[in-house]
Amino acid sequence: MNARAKQAERTLYVGVIGDLIASRKLAQRAAAQAALQAALDAVNARFANHLAARFVITLGDEFQGLLKPSAPVFEILDVLEARLGGQPCRFGVGVGAMATPINPDMSIGADGPAFWHARDAITSVHEQHDYQQTRTRIRGLNAHDEPIINNLLALSDYIKRGWTDLQRETFAHLLHLRIYTDNFDQQSAAEDMGITAVALYRRLKISGIKVYLRSRADLNTWLIDALKAEAGA
């Protein structure tokens, strides 16, 4: 075993497997795949420092990537989905080591518990999705953190699935401004959107976007802390 493979075995990573929901029903599947590739390219560029291996399309409308343990996982997933407009995704997130050397340019061919757990996670989303509401799940954490994080993910998914097109566009614009916290300058954000601060306030109030941002940002912190604890165990 070479040095890179040994290092992969000792380090915890976050594997992500995702797919486009109901992609086979799309009238323009080729256009959807092109949009997916563009979204992955954008995420790979924006979060390059957080990626152990770049996101790639693996089969049809399925894709995967490998993240470093300090990555803002849920922000990355939100940015990716926002880049796809109104096309929803499922995500399986897996925590674990890697059993093979990692090619930073692509995650295809990489194998190990991080991806095994991610596969288990997305399979469970297919099988148990709370009436099509839950679309993100994590596997590979300890028995204390994993169920709590998954319940909070389900709640945040529920908030997001209730958004109107305008509310989704508002959220996507905040992500474009690199806002991933509930504490931000609403006046400045409103000006960038070309609306009044009062109009933005109303959108935020009705949609629960700030609650969503707060919960997802806290989940990012919780996951990073959990990974640090597991790595040191």
* pLDDT tens sequence across 149-172: 999 999 999 999 999 999 999 999
Convert the pLDDT of each residue in 41-64 to its tens digit: 999 999 999 999 999 999 888 999
- pLDDT value of position 42: 97
Q: How far apart are CA 204 and CA 194, in angstroms?
A: 15
Read off the amino acid at residue 151. N
- pLDDT value of position 27: 62
Q: Give the SS3 label for residue 90.
A: strand
Domains in the chain, CATH or no CATH each: 3-232 (3.30.70.270)
Phi, psi of 187, deg, nearest 5: -65, -45
